[in-house]
Amino acid sequence: MSAHAENLTHDDAHGHESHGALSENNFLGLPNIKLAMWAFLGSECMFFGSLIGTYFFYHGNSLGGPLPKDVFSIGITSISTFLLLMSSLTMALAVDAMKQQKPLTARTFILITAALGACFVGFQVVEFHEFYTEKHLVFAGANASLFGSTFYTMTGFHGTHVTVGVIWLLIMSVLITKKKLVPGKEAVNVEVMGLYWHFVDIVWIVIFTFVYLLEFLK
Amino acid sequence: MASIADFAAAQKPIYHQERPSKTGLLDWLTTVDHKKIGILYGGAGLFWLLIGGLEALLFRIQLARPDQHIFVGDTFNGLVTMHATTMVFLAVMPMIAGFSNYFVPLMIGARDVAFPRMNAFSWWTFFAGSLTINASLLFCGAFPAAGWTGYAPLTTRDFSGMPIDFWWAGLTLLAVSSMVAGVNFVVTILNLRAPGMTLMRVPVLAWMMLVIQFLLAFSFPPVAVGLILLAFDRTFGTVFYATNMGGDPHLWQHLFWLFGHPEVYVLILPSMGIVSEILPVFTRRPLFGHHAVIFSGVFIGFVGFGVWGHHMFTAGMGPIADAAFASTTAIVAIPTGVKIFNWIGTMYNSKMTFPTAMLFAISFIPMFTLGGLSGMMHASPPLDLQQHDTYFVVAHFHYVLVGGALQGLFAGFYFYLPKITGKLMNETLGKIHFWVFLIGFNVTFFPMHMLGNHGMPRRIYTYPADAGWNTENLIATSGVFLMTFATLVFVYNLLTSLKKGKDAGSDPWDANTLEWMTTSPPPVHNFDFTPVVLSERPLWDHKYTPGFEIPVPEKAEEIHMPSPSWKPMWVSGSAGLIIVGLLTFNGVFGIPGWPLCIAGALGIIFSVYAWVTEPV
């Protein structure tokens, strides 16, 4: 290591605010973290594309167990879908409030978003429970079917993504409370979270449309 | 011209860190410096190259004569499987990651990567994955033996034992590591370029690294899904690959090769980049068709996602899919040909010098072309049906991966190592390495074309004496000893150069690009001042073109460098804990593993919180 390092660590000129600015180069004029999120979402497209592709690759191949039409109840799932869509609205409002230097308003919307996301996950848990106990759609083991394995895996990974988002939102609200996440330069962190949240939402729109609704297309 | 050195002497640039870097071993455990992580990747890659080579040596001894019984059955299969898995994921990929870590920020005039701690996370996750795959030898006394392609249902619990669990677990960790690294370097190359370095001024090697980072980020998710489904089948008893439940063996093949073919370009494009950097330096002229070389690399990356089906012509996809994949595969020849002609154009009628780096770069071209030509044969489904799973295919991809990728990386080592160590490698030993390796490589793999056309299948542990394969097999095995000797000469050369090598100075090859502007080895902050890039060959023009001198600022800039951190290792460790929990999910000695999964998940949440609140 350079001999200079030792002398400089006591330099108090830089507070905690300076983090993030590791290199002054910023060629595209976009924050690094935003660019990273877009690249990551591209990767996620391939991930969910593979999961949803697997579901349709096996669609109609099950040798036993219930069929999709036997288990889906569009009414209930429509409610949870509506809640998730509304959470995208509150997420957008949170991003906007942060940009307008209103961290406490942003925190309120973040918490509402997290609550809506948690409700969605709750609905999913109830749905899984009902499918398993009443409709006998089995994920694994002796009575498992291809529909069960692919359906639970695909929607389960989506639910996991929502859960990760909820935890992320909660951490963010703690950071805002502790004034470790402040408007200005760091508003982009909320915006990046918003990109993730909208993406997870869009994935659900795809799943709800193609997996659930199209089953009932006459 | 001397102004850059004057600046360094006069200004004594200084940098600021939130916490000082640690020393000794702790420094290597907590470092977020892209150069140190590059050295770790490169060192690990070299280590596994030797292990993978040893595995090849062992099974080639088994195949040297007919009817031998030294390594038979699953022992042989394990050696073959681990040779390929090791060479692809643990040797060539980390060596590429090493070059990309060490040199990409230097080439584009940056001080580090965009996310230094994420970079450390990638490295530790890779480290955990490499150990996990090989841990099957320790815990099961056997290697995974289902081939590196791990075709399901062969890898399901009905047909394969515990070692495959270590295989999917390790590969899943490597997939996470590669996806994170891909995202990190995409941002680094696009956003951290020095002022004035427009995309067409980005060095070709950095460009090829950009292309492969997109390939890593977008091609690993499908195989990650395939591995997760395999893990679910093996751990929980789902039925994804259970053919008796309606499962289709095509599923794994599609998910694997949708990753597997872009992965081939991940392995070859960096070597193409290295060759494109070395040829102009030793021919003393710009790269012929510079932009065409870049665009053809990008084109190869795009097409790479549309050709995976040519691995599956024998799997019965149907004539329409076969025809489509045959056409897309044939298209790959066009951008590849563009590159080959541009390299030849660069060398044509020039005043070349021939240090070892240049020799490897030149021999890359015909050796890779041979592999490419036999590859084009496989684009034709009728021919492929004849050659599939024969030694002809083995010959093909070894010409591409050894004659191509590995020779390119060797060229890179001789060319770039002086920047890392500050010492030149011995040229005499280097030339011995080059000639023995080139001859040994051809002696090993050329006869395999004949073996394949004479019908010898891959992955058989022995063959009868009257099959007509005796001579070629004996020749092939003798070549392996030459390659082994050459590689040991290389390692000896590398290690002795650290102490005895001649001082390299900052620019030993009179080169073109920014990494040669700073000292060898570079200081922690890479550059004393942020260079402004005025042309495609900034350093060359700085030295030889009046009016293109890199402007030296009046005064030192404030430099903030990232602090060392334990958090990347915490997150990697927590991810590893989840994997161990899944491996032991159904219980080892009656103790269920699922609590480890929960502990790992909580560990990730806790360490990520510590990560984001830690000042850098």
Residue-wise pLDDT tens digits, A119-165: 999 999 999 999 999 999 999 998 999 999 999 999 999 999 999 99
* pTM of the full structure: 0.94
Whether A109 has a pLDDT exceeding 80, the answer reads: yes
A36/B222 touch (CB, cutoff 8 Å), yes or no? no
Cα dist from A20 to A17, A31, A172, whole Å: 8, 10, 17
Q: Select from A120, A26, A113, A134 the least CA-distant residue to A76.
A: A120
The residue to which tokens 């900052």 are assigned: B506
**How far is it, in rounded angstroms, from Cα A155 to Cα A158?**
5
Domains of chain B and CATH, by start: 3-565 (1.20.210.10)
A175/B612 touch (CB, cutoff 8 Å), yes or no? yes
A16 pLDDT band, cuts 50/70/90, is: very low
B555 pLDDT band, cuts 50/70/90, is: confident
A19/B21 touch (CB, cutoff 8 Å), yes or no? no
Closest Cβ opposite residue A23 in set B110, B222, B250: B110
**Interface test mutation site (partner B, options A27, A45, A63, A177, max chain B beta carbons within 10 A):** A27
Q: What's the pLDDT score for residue A186?
A: 87
Q: Is beta strand B15-17 parallel, antiparallel or unpaired with respect to B559-561?
A: parallel
Q: What's the pLDDT score for residue B352?
A: 95
Angle subtended by helix axes B163-191 and B116-140, to nearest 10: 170
Catalytic residue of the set B41, B48, B102, B148 = B148
Max CA distance (Å), chain A: 75
Residue-wise pLDDT tens digits, A83-92: 999 999 999 9
A153/B232 touch (CB, cutoff 8 Å), yes or no? yes
**How far is it, in rounded angstroms, from Cα B255 to Cα B440?**
35
Please give the CATH topology (third level) of the domain spanning A30-54+68-216. Answer: Four Helix Bundle (Hemerythrin (Met), subunit A) (1.20.120)
For residue B148, indicate whether it is catalytic: yes
Cα dist from A180 to A11, A102, B602, whole Å: 21, 14, 22
Q: What's the pLDDT score for residue A21?
A: 39
Q: What's the pLDDT score for residue A12?
A: 31
Answer whether B567's CB lies under 8 Å from B117's CB.
yes
Whether B590 has a pLDDT exceeding 60, the answer reads: yes
Question: By the CB < 8 Å criterion, does A7 face chain B?
Answer: yes
Backbone angles phi, psi at B503, to 5 degrees: -60, 135
Domain ranges of chain A: 30-54+68-216
- Which tokens belong to B593? 């593993």
Q: What's the pLDDT score for residue B214?
A: 97
Vertex B103: Cα angle to B102 and B104 (nearest 5): 110
Least confident of B11-15, B424-428, B435-439, B507-511: B11-15
Residue-wise pLDDT tens digits, B23-73: 899 999 999 999 999 999 999 999 999 999 999 999 999 999 999 999 999
From the CA of B17, how many Å to the nearest CA of chain A?
6
Q: Within 10 A of B390 (CB to CB), how many other CB atoms are there?
A: 19
Q: Taking the C-alpha atoms of B109, B111, B116 and B122 in order, what is their torsion angle to the nearest 10 degrees? A: 40
Answer whether B508's CB lies under 8 Å from B532's CB.
no
**How far is it, in rounded angstroms, from Cα B601 to Cα B604?**
5
First to last CA, chain B: 36
Q: Select from B109, B112, B89, B105 the least CA-distant residue to B41.
A: B89
The residue to which tokens 């935003």 are assigned: A34
For residue B472, indicate whether it is catalytic: no
For residue B518, indicate whether it is catalytic: no
Q: Select from B404, B407, B408 the least CA-distant residue to B374.
A: B404
Whether B7 has a pLDDT exceeding 90, the answer reads: no
Whether B365 has a pLDDT exceeding 50, the answer reads: yes
**How far is it, in rounded angstroms, from Cα B564 to Cα A67?**
54
- B232: Cβ–Cβ under 8 A, 6 or more apart, which residues? A140, A149, A153, B238, B240
Whether B105 has a pLDDT exceeding 50, the answer reads: yes
Question: By the CB < 8 Å criterion, does B315 face chain A?
Answer: no
In what helix (H) or strand (E) does residue B119 lie, and over which residues does it extend? helix B116-140
Max CA distance (Å), chain B: 79
Residue-wise pLDDT tens digits, B385-403: 999 999 999 999 999 999 9
| Cβ within 8 Å of A, B 245-304 | 245-248, 250-251, 254-255, 258
Whether B433 has a pLDDT exceeding 90, the answer reads: yes
- Which tokens belong to A70? 């036997």
A25/B16 touch (CB, cutoff 8 Å), yes or no? no
Q: Is B67 exposed, middle or buried (0-12, 13-18, 19+ CB in 10 A)?
A: exposed
Comparing alpha-carbon positions, the chain B residue that sits nearest to A64 is B245
Whether A5 has a pLDDT exceeding 50, the answer reads: no
Least confident of A164-168, B194-198, B393-397, B556-560: B556-560
For residue B261, indicate whether it is catalytic: yes
**How far is it, in rounded angstroms, from Cα A113 to Cα B380?**
54
Residue-wise pLDDT tens digits, A168-217: 999 999 999 999 999 988 899 999 999 999 999 999 999 999 999 999 98
Average pLDDT, chain B: 94
For residue B554, indicate whether it is catalytic: no
A21/B560 touch (CB, cutoff 8 Å), yes or no? yes
Q: What's the pLDDT score for residue B4?
A: 72
Q: What's the pLDDT score for residue B9?
A: 64
In what helix (H) or strand (E) does residue B561 lie, and over which residues does it extend? strand B559-561
Comparing alpha-carbon positions, the chain B residue that sits nearest to A179 is B613
A11 pLDDT band, cuts 50/70/90, is: very low
**How far is it, in rounded angstroms, from Cα B343 to Cα B341?**
5
Instruction: From chain A, pick out residues whose CB is under 8 angstroms from the CB of B226.
Output: 50
B15 pLDDT band, cuts 50/70/90, is: confident
Percent of chain B with pLDDT over 90: 91
- B532: Cβ–Cβ under 8 A, 6 or more apart, which residues? B194, B195, B196, B550, B551
For residue B463, indicate whether it is catalytic: no
Q: What's the pLDDT score for residue B587?
A: 81
From the CA of B32, how many Å to the nearest CA of chain A?
12
**How far is it, in rounded angstroms, from Cα B616 to Cα B612?**
9
Q: What's the pLDDT score for residue B8?
A: 66
Q: What's the pLDDT score for residue B211?
A: 98
Q: Taking the C-alpha atoms of B235, B240, B245 and B246 in order, what is their torsion angle to the nearest 10 degrees? A: -170
Write down the ipTM of this complex.
0.95
